Amino acid sequence: MTTSLKQALKSHFGFDNFRSKIQEDVVKAVIRGDRDVFVCMPTGAGKSLCYQLPAMLADGITLVISPLIALIQDQVDHLKELNIPACSINSKLPANERHLILADLGSSSPKLKLLYITPEMVASPSFQPCLTNLCSRGLLSYLAVDEAHCVSQWGHDFRPDYLKLGKLRARLPGVPCLALTATAPRNVQEDIVQSLSLNSPLSFVTPVFRRNLHYDVIFRDQLPNPFAHLYTFIKKALALGSGSNGQGCGIVYCRTREGCETVAHQLTKLGILSKPYHAGLKAGDRTEVQNDWMQGRMLVIVATISFGMGVDKANVRFVAHWNLAKSLASYYQESGRAGRDGLPSLCRAYYSPKDKDQIYFLIRQEVIRRQEKRGSVKDTDKAPITDFEAMVSFCLQESATRKTLVTKPHLFF
């Protein structure tokens, strides 16, 4: 099963591997088709694939609900490039094209695999006969509700039309529903499950993507003064306070020793006492810096990723990445050191194309070095590159999504 899934992933989407274990698990759960599925993963984690791959492996059509025509258009264009039969019915569609689509849907074996639609359109009377007809012929494989937090009044993007999806579900008996979102607060999740009448859904929530952590990405090269920007962020994060645990503290991660030294120096100059921590320091000095930070004598530690293993401090109010992490998995692990006490905390990644190119270069060199040493090439050699690409696309997506649609919980701003 796994091999054929991987083959399908490769042949339809060109990917060698699933982006994460959770992405693979969701795909398998959707394909099993015996339960509704709820997915909460951060932007860029690859939620679309969770219904797109099952859609390709099913006989019928997958109906995808998405809130904005612009988002739908992006996805449909992308799928068409991959030669995947996908299209969208929306208010902007010329009548003749709409006619062609409806004709295909009405035929005995429709060619279409993915039909994207806005919630307004799915509720419109003109579309009902087509829908009922597909359902009664058993041709609806899945109902996927993307950006499912739009159903919740707690979220930032509440869309009244999403509330109609509950009724839609009632008219599609036996069609498993998959709800996807990047918005994690529990009340939003509860609204989604209730409004879409998800029936004891299998729930997949990225574990380290915790509800009290607020993620964002800043393009570093576009800032007039990056250090001042970081300083302002730290001030804001530390002002969040820390309940009964006293003053909060934070971690800035840098890729190099020099980076740590520079950032610590700049922050101290701006008025936040901070110290560097990296493998270039004497063991004694390193321990001292760590202790100062652990015991709250110094609030901000500027460290390479050698810092943090086994460090468990409850009141870390922020983790900032001055350079990109090498994979999404490391990013969540490192940023997940914030907010262990469950209180609101900030996770920020500073993105820079130059930084990205450098890290790419280093990772590629490492891959080549390993191949030369072994004298052969393996499929899995590329994994570090794919992993890093996931991190990069998270950053790009995060900032792009922010412009079109706020999909993140704004817990405390």
Q: Compute the distance between CA of residue 184 and CA of residue 186 in angstroms, rounded to an integer.
A: 6
Q: Note every long-range contact of 23-27, with CB atoms under 8 Å and residues 24 or more positions apart, other chains counting.
A: 23/49, 23/50, 25/204, 26/50, 26/204, 27/53, 27/54
Q: Which stretch binds Mg ion (CB under 5 A): 39-47, 157-165, 295-303, 333-341?
A: 39-47
Write out the two tokens for 232: 């302002």
At closest approach, how far in Å is the CB of 144 from ligand ADP? 11
Question: Does 26 interact with ligand ADP (rule: CB under 6 A)?
Answer: no
Range in contact with ligand ADP (rule: CB under 6 A) among 16-24, 97-105, 171-179, 200-208: 16-24
- Binding range to ligand ADP, per CB under 6 A, among 37-45, 107-115, 255-263, 343-351: 37-45
Distance CA 77, CA 72 (A): 9
Q: Which is nearer to Mg ion, 47 or 211 (CB)?
A: 47
How many CB atoms are closer than 10 A to CB 283?
8
Residue type, 339: G
Smallest separation (angstroms) from ligand ADP to the CB of 360: 15
Minimum CB distance to ligand ADP, residue 250 (Å): 27
CA 101 to CA 115: how far, in whole Å?
A: 9
Measured at the CA of 340, the angle between CA 334 and CA 346, to 5 degrees, comes to 65
| Closest to 166 (Cα-Cα) out of 191, 189, 138 | 191
**What are 286's two structure tokens?**
């390193």
What tokens does 282 get?
A: 């004497």
CA 262, 263, 264, 269 torsion-angle sign = positive
Question: Token match 């930070």: residue?
Answer: 293
Residue closest to Mg ion (Cβ):
47
Least spacing, CB of residue 117 vs ligand ADP, in Å:
17
Shortest gap between Cβ of 232 and Mg ion (angstroms)? 30
Pair 1, 54: CB distance under 8 Å: no
Least distance between Mg ion and beta carbon 66 (Å): 8
Min CB(185)–ligand ADP separation in Å? 17
Contact code string over 330-369 relative to ligand ADP, x by CB under 6 A:
----------------------------------------
What does R_g of the chain's alpha carbons equal in angstroms? 24
351 binds, among ligand ADP, Mg ion, none (CB under 5 to 8 A by kind): none
Footprint of ligand ADP on 367-396 (CB under 6 A): 386, 393
Q: Which does 18 bind (CB under 5 to 8 A by kind): ligand ADP, Mg ion, none?
A: ligand ADP
| Residue 179 contacts which entry, ligand ADP, Mg ion, none (Cβ below 5-8 A, type-dependent) | none
Number of residues that bind ligand ADP (CB under 6 A): 15
Q: Which is nearer to ligand ADP, 45 or 359 (CB)?
A: 45
Site for ligand ADP in 39-78 (CB under 6 A): 41, 43-49
What is the footprint of Mg ion within residues 40-79 (CB under 5 A)? Answer: 47
Chain centre distance of CA 97: 33
SS3 content of the chain, % helix, strand, coil (to 5): 50, 15, 35
* Binding letters toward ligand ADP, positions 160-179, x by CB under 6 A: --------------------
* Nearest C-alpha neighbor of 291 from the set 262, 249, 255, 343: 249
Q: Which of 185, 214, 397, 408 binds ligand ADP (CB under 6 A)?
A: 397
Kindly state the smallest distance separating residue 303's Cβ from ligand ADP, in Å. 29
Nearest-approach distance from CB 191 to Mg ion, in angstroms? 19
CA torsion through residues 140, 142, 145, 146, sign = negative
- Cβ distance to ligand ADP smaller for residue 249 or 325: 325
Question: Among 167, 98, 97, 161, which Cα is nearest to 130's?
Answer: 98
Q: Choosing among ligand ADP, Mg ion, none, which partner's interface includes residue 315 (Cβ < 5 to 8 Å by kind)?
A: none
Q: How many Å from the N-terminal Cα to the C-terminal Cα in the chain?
A: 46
Q: Evaluate whether 412 touches 41 at the Cβ level (below 8 Å).
A: no
- Residues in the site for Mg ion, rule: CB under 5 A? 47
The binding site for ligand ADP (CB under 6 A) comprises 15, 17-19, 41, 43-49, 386, 393, 397
